[in-house]
Structures are given as C-alpha cells and as structure tokens.
Amino acid sequence: MPTASTPTHCPYCALQCGMALSPLPAGGVEVVERPDFPVNRGALCGKGRTAPAVLSSGVRLTSPLVRSGGSLVPAGWEEALDRIAGEFARVRAAHGADALGVFGGGGLTNEKAYALGKFARVVLGTSQIDYNGRFCMSSAAAAGIKAFGLDRGLPFPMEDIPRTGCVILVGSNPAETMPPALRFFDELRENGGTLIVVDPRRTRTAEHADLHLAPRPGTDLALALGLLHLIVAEGRVDEEYVRERTTGWEDARAAAMAHWPEYVERITGVSVPQLRQAVRLFCEPAAAMVLTARGPEQQSKGTDTVGAWINLCLATGRAGRPFSGYGCLTGQGNGQGGREHGQKADQLPGYRKLDDPAARRHVAGVWGVDPDSLPGPGRSAYELLDALGSDVRSLLLMGSNPVVSAPRAAHVEERIRSLDFLAVCDVVLSETAALADVVLPVTQWAEETGTTTSLEGRVLLRRRALAAPDGVRSDLEVLHGLAARLGVEKGFPTDPEEVFEELRRASAGGIADYSGISYRRLAEGAGEGVFWPCPADPADLEDPEATSELTEPVDGGAGRQDGGAGRRERGTPRLFLDRFATEDGRARFVPVSHRPAAEEPDEDYPVLLTTGRVVAQYQSGAQTRRVDELNAAAPGPFVELHPRLAARLGAAEGDALAVVSRRGRAVAPARITPGIRPDTVFMPFHWPGEGRANSLTNPALDPTSRMPEFKVCAVRVEKAAGTP
C-alpha cells in the first residue's frame, strides 16, 4: 500500500476532475482534494467524493462467475477464460467471424479501448464492434467533422468560458451532470457575460441563466434556424469572416430564411420576443460560444440540429477566434478517447476511418498484420444490439450495461437473452452481467494505471493507488488471455504503458494524434495533462521508423494557437485559430431544415417524454446505485410533470404514474413542478425494473451518426395502482 497520496482523476464524467487518493490505516483509500488541477480546483460532486465506496469487496465482484444449471456460480480464471475462448472459436467456426460481437464502453481507458478494438479486428476478425459512446456525443462528432474537419468535444479549454461574452447552453444541465463545471458559467456572469440556457425544463442550470428558452422537445433545430434567420434579417452576419474563413454560406442562409420567427414560435413554443432577445445577447459581445449536450444530440436529426447551431457560430464569426466557438460537453468519463482509438464500428486508432486504405495500411503496419485481413466497418451500437441472437450469436461486453442504458431496453434485453453466449467484464454484477454465461471481475480506476481524454481533449494519467482484491484481473489481462487461447500469442501486453506506447505509434499522423504524448510527459509538472493533437518528432517514438512518414498532422496545422515550447508542454489547447482542419482550411456551412421528431404526439400518445440524469446517480447506475449516500439522495425513478397535466390526470405528488409508449411501460411516483412544459414529462434513466425509463425510448436513428432518439418520444400518462 502506498503511504503518500496518489494524484488521479474521478472515474465518472468527462470533466475528469482532479483528485488524490490517500491510504487509510485500516486499508482502502479516501478522496482528498487536489486544488492544483485547473478544471475543478479541488471541487468534487457527491459521486466523486464517494467513488472509493465501489472499491469495497462487499460491493464489487471478486471472482469469475460461470453459468451452471441456470445460475452463476464462482469459478477459476482458467476455467472462465477457457470457456469464453472455446465458445468464441465454436461460433466462429460454425457461423463466421461476424457472428462474434464486441460491445465496449465510454468509461474504458484509452489503453483498454485501443486493445479492445485491436482484439476484435485482429484476434476475432469481426467487424461487429461498437460501444455505448455512440449514445453520448456521436451527433456532435458528425456535425463537427462536417463543419470543421475535426471533432474534439471542446476546441478550447474550460478556462476560456468565463472570458467570453455570451454562452448559449443547449440541452445541457451541468449543475446536475457535472457540478464542478457550473463555476465556469457563474464566473462568466460575474465577469459581465450572459448565459442562455435552452431546455424544456427549468433545471438547476437554468436557474443560473440570464435567459431560459424552453422549446418543445425535438424542436432545437427549428430554434437554431429561427435565430439564424433573425441574425440575417437584423444585419448581424459577420460578412468578412464568412467570406474569408467559410464556404457554403448561401445555401445555409437560404435554408434559414425559410424559418421566420413566427413560424419558429409555432413549432418551438419560444416567443418571438425571446428569440430576438437571445440574438441580441449572443451577437452584441465581441466573443460568444454555443455549447451543446445530449438534448439536441440524442435525436433522430441530431447531426443536423448540432449543424444548425454551428452555422449560428459561423455566420457571426464565433468559431476559430479567441474565446469564441462551438463545443460539445461530452458526458462519459472517456467518451472522447474511447472512440478515437478503435472501439467504434467505423474507426481505427487516431480517429482514422476504417475504410481509408492509407489508414488501414498504417495501423496494420503497427499491428504487424496484412491490411486486407482487417474487416470493414460494422454495425452501430443499437443496430449491433438489435442483431444479437440472429446475425450476431456471441458477444463480449466490456464496461457497459445496455439492459438499462439502451433505447427500447426491453427489446434489447430480449435480444441479449437470445444470444448463444454472452461474456461480460465488469466491476459489479450489473443487470446485463446477471444475464451472462461468464462474468469476469476486472480492476477499477484506482487499481490500475491508464489514460483518459476529457471533454477538453486533455489526455490525463490516472495512476494506480492500491492493489485490486485477490481474484480480480485487469481488462488488458483478460484480452491477453483470450488472445493467446485463440491463437494470437503476441501483441496484447498487460502493461498499460506498453499498450500506450503502441497507441502512440498507431495514432501518429491521424486526426487524434497522441504520438507526442507519453506517460512521462503526463506525469510531469502539476499533472495537468496534454491536449491532442500532439504530434511527435520521429525520435520521440519508441520505433521512429514505424511512423516517420506519418508524424505530420493531417490537418495541416488545425489552426493551432500554442506553438513552440508552450505547445510541447500542453499539446494543442485551442484549435482553429489560424485555420480549420479541412483541406482548404475553411469551415463549411451545412444547409439544414427543420423536420419533426421520428414520433410525434397523437390521440393515443398525446404527451412528449424526455429523459436525463440526476446529480446523485450516473448513467445506468450500475455503480452509483451501490453507494448508500447517493441512494439516500436519489433513491429511485420519478415522473416529473407540470401541475396542469397533473390536474388533468387527477394526480398528486408521489402518486404512482404509468408512462406508456409504443415500446413499453414504466411506473414511478409523480414529481409535480411548474418548471417543465405542460406538454412534456421527464424521467431519469438510471434505474432498472418497473421504473426503467429506457423501456419507453425510441431507437429511431440519426442517418449520419446512428444516434438513437433518446430525448423525445410520444407517450401517454395515467395513474397506476399501487406504489412502484
């Protein structure tokens, strides 16, 4: 056991707050503040403060489990790994490699995400790999790539937010989802700036806003177009910027002009005076930002919706300038890094495209395999889950709980149950793990060293602070053991730093270039991390010959601001200040038009449902629901509704309400508040069972990002007998 505090980072959201872990005399660790880390300056939410509770042997798995006679029973590691490898080999021989699926998680470290993608493609030979980060910010990623040529959650550090003049925060509630971030927005207002919050609910974050716009769920696209229409009509377009730094303006302008204010008011419910006020607040300062989160992104038109908000920034010259720009507030702890290095269906390490021949050659060279042996792009996350039990017969699942977190969850649970074989690696017996044929107990954040990438694109080193319990192994050890059993003896090291060194070479020259980052650099100084892209000199790499042709950044500079020695220390905190990451260096307007949600209310389902999180729980709740303090603060699901809707139903506070969609039914107690639209109800999605909100949600997919429409579907609400 180390005797000194170990600097590390919170295992939960993408803010990746700095903390330290101090050993306790009786064993285990406690969280202590780390005020030197600039993102949270020592502040932590309840989840971060209580994170060590899940390290307890009484809470987590400490032995492999195998299914025998219908029940999961303890087993040895060799037996468990032999059974997984044997089943995978059998299915592949009988049905082909694509009958094997791999489903990863946005909480896996960069090393584990990289190794998992390599394992799927090199060892299993399957194209069927994706991860739950597809449900997080894939629409923002797709829109960012279309507009800027590069996707990084925030193209600037969080410290820039208080220095801008106005922020439009669309579909984000950081007061509950990442509480330490709220201080940036409060400091913005203290400095004389303004905050506009767009959300159908008056959330805790909206309480801090200068202006709250409450559009009908699913109409964020129309709202952005209406604001752009007013910007044009009022002569607020930055014509010089548009001329010199963008392309495609005329088509985008024409699309916006079809969305006049009164028309947008009818669609969204946001009044014309509020639209005009928002335009004034956004356009009058010298700098401004738009930040989106899951609200506009988790829609069947999420890519177009984010694109419309980006168009707003481009038309006003608010992108690629100091303290201005568009950014996405990523949700999952390593949602950014998790997709950059290979566990996404269509991507190779370095954010390379799997169907790009040059990318395939480069990565195959690092891996020591024939480029032609690498499978092509596979199914997206929901499509992969939907194919379980039919085209995909066996699944390896690592760090995800889709029985609770996936849309149309009852159907997904049915598909998982229909598999020939399911293997799960997790720290706790989640609802999905409970359905598995083999469950492997794996190490947690404090028991392993590895890197994550925050919502700022800041690559961080999380250090091992204590030993894992006997009987627990790392995910890297799992992949090493399975690869050896399936005939691949080399290429899957168990040391995370060794994996990261290979990741550096694989990412070199890619959009997400980590080649100039090393564990040594990440540990230096105050441990503030390094922002990607951070290309290396060939001499910096372990094997310079492997990357000598690919160490120049593919974007021709990506408009990097921090050069020289400063850039060597921090990487690239700010993107696009000189040019965008497109071939001609210009940002691209993408013309978009409003269209309805995939499912609109009707006589049978007259109310809109939207979903989200609460401050004391995280994602599917698999870990936070095992912490007494967090459960005391948020013990279960609820249905939030307006007093007028409650009156129509004859419902009182705490009454059991049934929310019914075309996909399922959920029951939870009523929480009545005037802070939500009368045509909308809200449910948090952290719980399984009768109150499972994702039993209701719609898997309608965005055509570009393949993001499901979590944020809007049609339901009916009725009083239910009894108490949930």
In which region does residue 278 sit, left (phi positive, over 0), alpha (psi from -120 to 50) or beta (all else)? alpha
Q: Report whether pLDDT(556) > 50.
A: no
Among the candidates 553, 570, 587, a domain finishes at 570
Q: Report whether pLDDT(500) > 70.
A: yes
Peptide linkage before 688 cis (omega within 30 of 0): no
Q: Report whether pLDDT(554) > 80.
A: no
| Whether 383 and 461 share a structural domain | yes
For residue 692, being part of any structural domain is answered with yes
Q: Report whether pLDDT(568) > 60.
A: no
Q: Report whether pLDDT(558) > 60.
A: no
For residue 596, being part of any structural domain is answered with no
* Overall average pLDDT of the 339-366 stretch: 95
In which region does residue 269 sit, left (phi positive, over 0), alpha (psi from -120 to 50) or beta (all else)? left
Cα–Cα distance, 448 to 473 (Å, whole number): 10
Q: Report whether pLDDT(46) > 50.
A: yes
**pLDDT at res. 251:** 98
Cα–Cα distance, 404 to 622 (Å, whole number): 9
Q: Report whether pLDDT(563) > 70.
A: no
Instruction: Give per-residue pLDDT as tens, 629-643.
Output: 999 999 999 999 999
Q: Per 3-state DSSP, what percentage of the chain is helix, strand, and coil (rounded to 5)?
A: 35, 20, 45
For residue 601, being part of any structural domain is answered with no
**pLDDT at res. 3:** 60
| pLDDT band at 218; cut points 50, 70, 90 | very high
**pLDDT at res. 57:** 80
| Whether 680 and 697 share a structural domain | yes
The amino acid at 416: I
Nearest to 332 by CA among 107, 139, 152: 107
| Whether 440 and 485 share a structural domain | yes
| Whether 611 and 704 share a structural domain | yes
Among the candidates 271, 300, 329, a domain finishes at 329
| Whether 494 and 523 share a structural domain | yes
Q: Report whether pLDDT(496) > 90.
A: yes
122-133 core/surface letters (b: 16 or more CB in 10 A; e: else): bbbbbbbbbbbb
The pTM of the full predicted model, rounded to 2 decimals, is 0.94
Q: How many CB atoms lie within 10 A of CB 602?
A: 9
**713 phi and psi angles, rounded to 5 deg:** -155, 165
For residue 581, being part of any structural domain is answered with no
| Long-range contact set of residues 280-283: C-beta below 8 Å, sequence gap at least 24 | 281/166, 281/194, 281/196, 281/210, 281/211, 282/166, 282/168, 282/196, 282/227, 282/312, 282/316, 283/231, 283/234, 283/236, 283/316
* Overall average pLDDT of the 296-300 stretch: 97
Indicate the number of domains in the chain: 4
**pLDDT at res. 276:** 98
For residue 665, being part of any structural domain is answered with yes
> Percent of the chain, pLDDT > 90?
91
| Whether 633 and 712 share a structural domain | yes
| Whether 144 and 113 share a structural domain | no
| pLDDT band at 550; cut points 50, 70, 90 | very low
Cα–Cα distance, 612 to 177 (Å, whole number): 9
Cα–Cα distance, 303 to 298 (Å, whole number): 9
Sheet holding 530-531, edge to edge: 450-453, 458-462, 530-531
**pLDDT at res. 538:** 59
| Residue 3 vs residue 637, higher pLDDT | 637
**pLDDT at res. 535:** 95
- Return mean pLDDT, the chain: 94
CATH code of the domain containing 619: 2.40.40.20
| Whether 166 and 276 share a structural domain | yes
| Residue 3 vs residue 323, higher pLDDT | 323
| pLDDT band at 564; cut points 50, 70, 90 | very low
Q: Report whether pLDDT(654) > 90.
A: yes
> What range does the domain containing 417 cover?
65-135+334-528+535-570
CATH code of the domain containing 29: 2.20.25
The amino acid at 494: T
One-character DSSP codes across 176-202: HHSGGGHHHHHHHHHTT-EEEEE-SB-
The amino acid at 500: F
Task: Identify whether the C-beta of residue 232 lies closer than 8 Å to the C-beta of residue 253.
Answer: yes
| pLDDT band at 566; cut points 50, 70, 90 | very low
Instruction: Give per-residue pLDDT as tens, 502-545.
Output: 999 999 999 999 999 999 999 886 689 999 999 987 555 554 44
**pLDDT at res. 248:** 98
CATH code of the domain containing 121: 3.40.50.740
**pLDDT at res. 339:** 85
For residue 589, being part of any structural domain is answered with no
| Whether 433 and 557 share a structural domain | yes
**pLDDT at res. 552:** 33
> Percent of the chain, pLDDT > 70?
94
| Whether 640 and 694 share a structural domain | yes
| pLDDT band at 27; cut points 50, 70, 90 | confident
| Whether 197 and 114 share a structural domain | no
**pLDDT at res. 721:** 78
CATH code of the domain containing 257: 3.40.228.10
**pLDDT at res. 26:** 87
| Whether 349 and 286 share a structural domain | no
